[in-house]
Amino acid sequence: MSPVQVGLPEGSRRRTPGLRREEVASLAGTGITWYTWLEQGREIQVSAQVLESLSGINAE
């Protein structure tokens, strides 16, 4: 998914395609640290609301 597809400016050069971790966290309405922990598979409590926010990013 590209930044343009979710309404973000294309911005500068990217090393890999897709959204940056910070962009995903922002779109999901969560903090970057918390999102990083989720991405790393740490044992944290994930609410249904956050999971729905994350899944909605991909569906748009």
Give domain status of residue 39, yes or no.
Answer: yes
For tokens 């979710």, the residue is 6
Give domain status of residue 8, yes or no.
Answer: no
For tokens 């990083």, the residue is 36
Give domain status of residue 15, yes or no.
Answer: no
How far is the CA of 57 from the CAs of 2, 43, 50, in angstroms?
11, 23, 11
pLDDT tens digits for range 8-60 = 887 778 888 888 899 889 888 889 998 999 889 999 888 888 888 888 775 54
Give domain status of residue 2, yes or no.
Answer: no
Give me the pLDDT at residue 33, please: 93
Give domain status of residue 49, yes or no.
Answer: yes
Global confidence as pTM: 0.72
Give domain status of residue 30, yes or no.
Answer: yes
